[in-house]
Amino acid sequence: MVTSTSPVFLALGIGLCFVALSILLIVTFGSGRGQIALSRRRPGVRDKRSLLTKATDEATSFVERRLGRSAAFGSRASLDQAGVKMSQADFILLVGCTAATAGFIGFFINGIAFGIVFFLATPIGAIIFLKFLTGRRRAKFDAQLGDTLQMLAGGLRAGHSLLRSVDAVSKETEAPTSEELTRIVNETRLGRDLRDSMQDAARRLDSDDFDWTGQAVEIHREVGGDLAEVLDHVGETIRERSQIKGQVKSLSAEGRLSAYILIGLPISVFLWLSVANPDYVGTLYTTGLGWIMLIVGTLLLITGSFWLSRVIKIKF
């Protein structure tokens, strides 16, 4: 018995077949280039990887050789800021396969226009998802920073050196503070200056508060003094700023919710009508006037979204 959802499953199956065929072609034409066989690197050791693992590794190597170094999409810096452990090549391959599958699903649901929309929406959605992870990671780091400085000051009062205190705090705190402090400790042990490592961490996290902490450490190294007391004052200032940020966020919550509704409502209605009544919406992408209306509407929506984002974003 054929149900109304059968085209979706058909599209999903065809999309997965397309992904599998793409990986097979990459393995066939791109394998063995720029890699040393395991038998040469480790004599006497057999390669026990499965066929799927080999295909995935070959596809990742292909993407890394062809796009990894020059592609700005999914750069190592943006992945680090979002806390994603995946390599750039793996991320690009995952987004590419997902976009191809989504394009085929959209094509079989409602034609080529819908397939193009699904295909283009996948990388856009990946970028939005990375920005969401980045913002959440930065907010969590800022919320932990006051307690982190208090623990650093306690370690200094106990007689530990600054680097030893940072190492101890990195083992006792939660991510992302533990990840960033561990990275600072490892870079310092490899010979990098502590101030440079802290500046890079502040830049990755876009944290003015942590930048102030790095400046306080640098001033202490130049002129001396009680660093623990300085960190206490910095931590107190940061906690007061966090309290003010919370108040501003609560007062602007209504504006943010209104902006989300105004942005999401026309998109949701368009997608719903495209599925529920495709003939009614089909005029938009089957005639020249319809395409003009789509382009103008999209530009107006982007302009309005940018305007609303500036209105609800308060700097102080």
Pick from 187, 218, 175: nearest CA to 82: 175
Lowest-confidence segment of 75-79, 124-128, 302-306 by average pLDDT: 75-79
Q: Go through the domains of the chain in sequence order and give each one's CATH number.
A: 137-250 (1.20.81.30), 256-312 (no CATH)
Give, in order, the Cα–Cα distances in Å from 181 to each of 81, 148, 152, 184, 210: 14, 10, 11, 5, 11
pLDDT at 28: 42
Contact by Cβ (8 Å): 189, 170: no
> Once rounded to an integer, what is the mean pLDDT over residues 133-138?
90
pLDDT at 104: 81
Lowest-confidence segment of 57-66, 160-169, 212-221 by average pLDDT: 57-66
Q: Specify the higher pLDDT residue, 68 or 176.
A: 176
> For residue range 228-241, what is the model confidence (pLDDT) as tens digits?
888 888 888 888 88
CA distance 67 to 81: 21
pLDDT at 27: 44
Amino acid letter, 126: A
CA distance 120 to 137: 26
User: Is the pLDDT confidence value at 304 over 60?
Assistant: yes
Tell me the pTM: 0.66
What angle (nearest 5°) sits at the alpha carbon of residue 124, between those of residues 300 and 90?
Answer: 170
pLDDT at 299: 92
Lowest-confidence segment of 67-76, 97-106, 249-258, 267-276 by average pLDDT: 67-76
CB neighbour list of residue 171: distance below 8 Å, 6 or more residues apart: 178
pLDDT at 44: 54
The fraction of the chain above a pLDDT of 70, given in percent, is: 75
> For residue range 167-210, what is the model confidence (pLDDT) as tens digits?
888 888 888 888 889 999 998 888 888 888 888 888 888 888 88
Residue 31 confidence class, pLDDT cut points 50, 70, 90:
very low
User: Is the pLDDT confidence value at 131 over 50?
Assistant: yes
> Once rounded to an integer, what is the mean pLDDT over residues 290-313?
86
